[in-house]
Amino acid sequence: MQIPIPSFVDVLDFIGTFAFAISGIRWASAKQFDLFGAYVVGVATAIGGGTIRDLMLGVTPIWMLNPMYLICSACALVWVILFGKTIINQQGTFFIFDSIGLALFTVVGVEKTLTLGFPLWVAIIMGTITGAAGGVLRDIFINEIPLIFRKEIYALACVVGGLCYGLCEMIGLDLVVVQSISGVSVFLVRILAVKYHLCLPILKEQTDTN
Amino acid sequence: MQIPIPSFVDVLDFIGTFAFAISGIRWASAKQFDLFGAYVVGVATAIGGGTIRDLMLGVTPIWMLNPMYLICSACALVWVILFGKTIINQQGTFFIFDSIGLALFTVVGVEKTLTLGFPLWVAIIMGTITGAAGGVLRDIFINEIPLIFRKEIYALACVVGGLCYGLCEMIGLDLVVVQSISGVSVFLVRILAVKYHLCLPILKEQTDTN
Amino acid sequence: MQIPIPSFVDVLDFIGTFAFAISGIRWASAKQFDLFGAYVVGVATAIGGGTIRDLMLGVTPIWMLNPMYLICSACALVWVILFGKTIINQQGTFFIFDSIGLALFTVVGVEKTLTLGFPLWVAIIMGTITGAAGGVLRDIFINEIPLIFRKEIYALACVVGGLCYGLCEMIGLDLVVVQSISGVSVFLVRILAVKYHLCLPILKEQTDTN
């Protein structure tokens, strides 16, 4: 099989995939999954969002066209096996990687959707799905309530990034500038959300929910 | 973006979407979801069934072609925030709305599938998926066993509605009459099921299920 | 509707569907699902993997083109209702059926993917999804951590079968021979895994998994 030479965006994409997969694999290992299960959860975390997006857009899921996504996830598995104990000390690094992945996945999702002719509001949702749905899949697999529905702002960073994308494009900025601003905004919102523990308000529980 | 003038069926559709979203948002709030999580669960409950149907039928999910579904879900979120405490007193109203939604979603699902050239038995299943799969998605997101697998007759109402659709069409009735009878039958089965606590028999547990 | 005359592979396919559906229905009954819920879980177990595969391949899910899959699942439901208590004594038979199903589903998945022009590595994944994803869906529906992520080698048998398929094809063997060797290899790996309790190593838990 032929592997194309990776561009700068590809490299960022693979870093994001690696970081997302690490997150899935570590959660799976906390639930005593075996190696295969951990790999599947890692893959689902890394490419689940993009797969759901591509199915909705009616195109072939991206990972079926380029083996790099599965290879990156396999590298993540090897990494956790080899350096599992020290990963806790690399927490900060992986948080940065994860945020880079979130930013890039969002921009890729928004761009792909716009290219296919959908309006901006669909593109923003697809960007958010690309960035955040993998984590939801991960939490369903490990049988937990999805983290992003209750913790620090995560998916909202994707929404902000998507809005920035639309605004910058409307102004008429260059595509590379539009993408950079959009990505940086996702990254910043996410970093600030975790640094200052920014959460969305929680809906008050009602006594009877039938 | 251009929003088409809603027909009578559209209005019923939006009422159903609103009622389904309310149900999802209330369950999410019972699980301490934040506003974003509650909105996602509401949206998934409202349009999850139609999305799964459209993916299987090989067409673009309906909510990607008309922003009203997401707007209705957003209205539902605002409604729960503003009137959360009094919703319990509106239980009856929402049950009626929810049943209207179930009826309409079923009819829409059956019709869309037949229009695309699939046989009736596929259409009945797609009608049932349109009506009931959103609730299954909701329960997966809040990490509960899907309610419709264990409580009063729900999805079976959709099956009955789909069968009525097929029978009425076979007789050669007018499309509007066919759809009305089908929708009313779903509505009635559901109302009667809840009024008289009609449940399907439960399979007896076996001791060893490996 | 017209039902085509089943070939030998079709018969194996229906046996596999029956066995997979039995497994889903029995787990559902252990969770006090009603008849409808049990049927849905049975169907999801039996055809869930093929459906996910077909959605990713961009073709119409196989069960929408042939009612036999739903009929086989209905037969499985009747079987559990009638012979529920004695199924425990048929454990061995169902394990053999289940392994036949796993083998056949894998081969069907690999072949279908290759026929559509995808490379072997995609085909191996699709074979594995065809064989193993139904069980994951089943476990999500009954709100348990997917069994195949933690117990005896299951999905890995599909991967081995997919690799055998690729190897045999590379050598230039006849299609029937390729498929037979591939299927038998899945069957053997699965049987041996259960007989000798072969498990993959479990990833060591880390203390902090945020």
Which residues of chain C does A40 touch, with a Cβ-Cβ cutoff of 8 Å?
149, 155
Whether residue C209 has pLDDT greater than 50: no
Give the whole-angstrom CA distance, residue A26 versus residue A2: 31
Question: Is A100 within the bounds of a domain?
Answer: no
Question: Is B202 within the bounds of a domain?
Answer: no
Question: Is A184 within the bounds of a domain?
Answer: yes
Question: Is C200 within the bounds of a domain?
Answer: no
Report the residue of chain C nearest A143, measured CA to CA: C145
Question: Is B72 within the bounds of a domain?
Answer: yes
Counting the structural domains of chain B, the total is: 1
Which residues of chain B does A202 touch, with a Cβ-Cβ cutoff of 8 Å?
29, 32-35
Report the residue of chain C nearest A51, measured CA to CA: C56
The residue of C45, C47, C56, C64 whose CB has the most chain B CBs within 10 angstroms, and thus the best one to mutate to test that interface, is: C64
Flag if B67 and A205 touch (Cβ within 8 Å): no
The residue of B142, B203, B209 whose CB has the most chain C CBs within 10 angstroms, and thus the best one to mutate to test that interface, is: B203
Same domain, A125 and A25: yes
Contacts of residue A204, Cβ cutoff 8 Å, sequence gap at least 6? B29, B84
Report the residue of chain B nearest C36, measured CA to CA: B149
Flag if B60 and A55 touch (Cβ within 8 Å): no
C89 touches chain B (CB under 8 A): no
What interface predicted TM-score (ipTM) does this complex get?
A: 0.88
Which residues of chain A does C155 touch, with a Cβ-Cβ cutoff of 8 Å?
36, 40
Same domain, A49 and A131: yes
One digit per residue, pLDDT tens: chain A, 210 residues? Answer: 555 677 777 888 888 899 899 989 988 988 889 999 999 999 999 999 999 999 999 999 999 999 999 999 999 999 999 887 777 677 777 788 889 889 999 999 999 999 999 999 999 999 999 999 999 999 999 999 888 887 778 899 999 999 999 999 999 999 999 999 999 999 999 999 999 988 888 877 554 444
> What is the nearest CA distance from B99 to chain A, expressed in angstroms?
14
Boundary residue ending a domain (A142, A162, A184): A142
Which residues of chain B does C55 touch, with a Cβ-Cβ cutoff of 8 Å?
55-56
Q: Closest by alpha carbon to C42, among C153, C186, C141?
A: C141
Same domain, A179 and A125: no
Alpha helices in C142-174 (DSSP H): 155-171
Q: Label each residue of chain B as H, E or C.
A: CCCCCCCHHHHHHHHHHHHHHHHHHHHHHHCCCEHHHHHHHHHHHHHHHHHHHHHHHCCCCHHHCCCHHHHHHHHHHHHHHHHCCCHHHHHHHHHHHHHHHHHHHHHHHHHHHHHCCCCHHHHHHHHHHHHHHHHHHHHHHCCCCCHHHCCCCCHHHHHHHHHHHHHHHHHCCCHHHHHHHHHHHHHHHHHHHHHCCCCCCECCCCCCCC
Question: Is B99 within the bounds of a domain?
Answer: yes
Which residues of chain C does B150 touch, with a Cβ-Cβ cutoff of 8 Å?
32-34, 37
pLDDT, tens only, B89-115: 777 777 888 898 899 999 999 999 999
Give the whole-angstrom CA distance, residue C186 versus residue A208: 50
Question: Is A93 within the bounds of a domain?
Answer: no
B32 touches chain A (CB under 8 A): yes
Flag if A37 and C148 touch (Cβ within 8 Å): yes
Count of C-beta atoms within a 10 Å radius of residue B162: 27
Q: Which residues pair with A202 in a beta bridge?
A: B34
Question: Is A54 within the bounds of a domain?
Answer: yes
pLDDT, tens only, C44-78: 999 999 999 999 999 999 999 999 999 999 999 99
Chains touching chain B, criterion 3+ CB pairs below 8 Å:
A, C
Same domain, A78 and A162: no
Same domain, A129 and A189: no
Which residues of chain C does A33 touch, with a Cβ-Cβ cutoff of 8 Å?
149-150, 202-203
- Owning domain of residue A15: 1-83+113-142
> What is the nearest CA distance from C124 to chain B, expressed in angstroms?
23
